[in-house]
């Protein structure tokens, strides 16, 4: 808890382009939390270099992501929006917590196995200790809650284990975080493989809707979405393609599934796909407009980067100094 409010931490990697799933599953929901929590939203660029990055592209992607946070509705005066690499306490705390994390715990992390398989030419130690850096991200801000998807549950569990282990040795140092359970939302699936989650790393460009896709591109991708052969717009587990489209239309328009089935009772898949595409494009239009304005205002974004980094550093340093003293590092001479 900071300044009388419970603390929430989250972040996204500064690689790839954010998808409709990222927007509906995270960004759109984050906007609702700024008055309830002291929020920290990180542009996760330290984690990004576990995979080789082109430096100029990484810098550009990081700035684009930070700007997109704001364009999506996050107020930088109410939410601390910052670059992970601008707060050195992330890396400093990570080293300390590495010394309180067991090899057996890291060996059980499935994401290391998955990423090692994808990047067999670069299986580095940063990829292996990635969960410890993630634990540091969360614990630095005494986070009470962390929004997590199913693929991140392991990382929150190891974060809790590390925090409890440290607290058992040194006393009440870290807040032990809980998962944030918000409103149940649709899980947005791939348009080409509707049995798997929509991903910004998908190699098929038609599988994902990206937040910054223009209207023509969005509608074209929905027209190509995989469905089935019976042409009936019905919400059913045995129709994963059309179920996914109904989910998207429902969360985009606010209409109930039953009402959608009635609305398109006498329509074919072609008409429904166009309707879904238009609804998504209309929803994203204000984000595109705001993104265009912000991109042109370099001074404003630069000021957000500076002031939010200062705020993040202030709170992160308070935790780091406490940890350093607990483990026995010499006090700094002021």
Closest-CA residue to 97 (of 13, 10, 161, 176) = 161
Catalytic residue chosen out of the listed positions 197, 239, 243, 273: 197
Distance set, CA 174 to CA 1, 101, 284 (Å): 11, 15, 39
Residue 79 bridge partners (DSSP): 39
Cα angle at 312 between 307 and 316, to 5 degrees? 150
Cα–Cα distance between 19 and 198 in angstroms, integer? 7
Catalytic residue chosen out of the listed positions 28, 78, 200, 318: 200
Strand segments, DSSP code E, in the chain are: 7-13, 38-44, 79-83, 145-147, 178-180
* 113 assigned to active site: no
Q: Are 238 and 226 in contact (CB under 8 A)?
A: no
Return phi, psi of residue 147, to 5°.
Answer: -70, 125
Cα–Cα distance between 27 and 12 in angstroms, integer? 10
DSSP β-ladder status, 79-83 and 145-147: unpaired
* 306 assigned to active site: no
Catalytic residue chosen out of the listed positions 61, 115, 221, 273: 115
Cα–Cα distance between 107 and 103 in angstroms, integer? 6
Residue 42 bridge partners (DSSP): 11, 82
* 115 assigned to active site: yes
Supply the residues annotated as catalytic: 115, 197, 200
């Amino acid at each position: 808890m900071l300044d009388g409010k419970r603390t929430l931490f989250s972040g996204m990697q500064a690689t790839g382009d954010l998808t409709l799933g990222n927007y509906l599953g995270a960004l759109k929901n984050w906007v609702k939390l700024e008055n309830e929590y002291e929020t920290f939203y990180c542009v996760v660029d330290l984690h990004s270099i576990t995979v080789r990055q082109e430096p100029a592209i990484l810098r550009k992607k990081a700035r684009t992501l930070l700007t997109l946070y704001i364009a999506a509705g996050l107020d930088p005066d109410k939410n601390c929006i910052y670059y992970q690499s601008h707060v050195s306490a992330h890396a400093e705390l990570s080293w300390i917590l590495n010394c309180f994390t067991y090899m057996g715990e890291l060996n059980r992390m499935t994401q290391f196995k998955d990423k090692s398989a994808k990047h067999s030419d670069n299986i580095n130690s940063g990829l292996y200790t990635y969960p410890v850096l993630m634990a540091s991200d969360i614990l630095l801000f005494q986070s009470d809650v962390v929004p997590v998807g199913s693929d991140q549950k392991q990382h929150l569990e190891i974060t809790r284990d590390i925090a409890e282990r440290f607290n058992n040795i040194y006393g009440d140092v870290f807040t032990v975080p809980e998962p944030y359970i918000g409103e149940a939302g649709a899980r947005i699936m791939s348009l080409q493989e509707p049995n798997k989650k929509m991903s910004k790393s998908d190699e098929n460009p038609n599988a994902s809707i990206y937040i910054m896709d223009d209207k023509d591109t969005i509608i074209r991708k929905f027209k190509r979405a995989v469905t089935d052969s019976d042409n009936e717009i019905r919400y059913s587990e045995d129709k994963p393609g059309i179920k996914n489209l109904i989910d998207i239309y429902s969360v985009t328009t606010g209409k109930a599934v039953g009402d959608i089935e009635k609305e398109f009772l006498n329509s074919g898949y072609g008409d429904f796909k166009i309707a879904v595409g238009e609804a998504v494009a209309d929803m994203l239009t204000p984000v595109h407009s705001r993104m265009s304005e912000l991109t042109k205002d370099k001074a404003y974004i630069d000021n957000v980067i500076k002031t939010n980094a200062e705020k993040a550093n202030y709170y992160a340093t308070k935790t780091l100094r406490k940890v350093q003293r607990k483990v026995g590092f010499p006090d700094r001479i002021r």
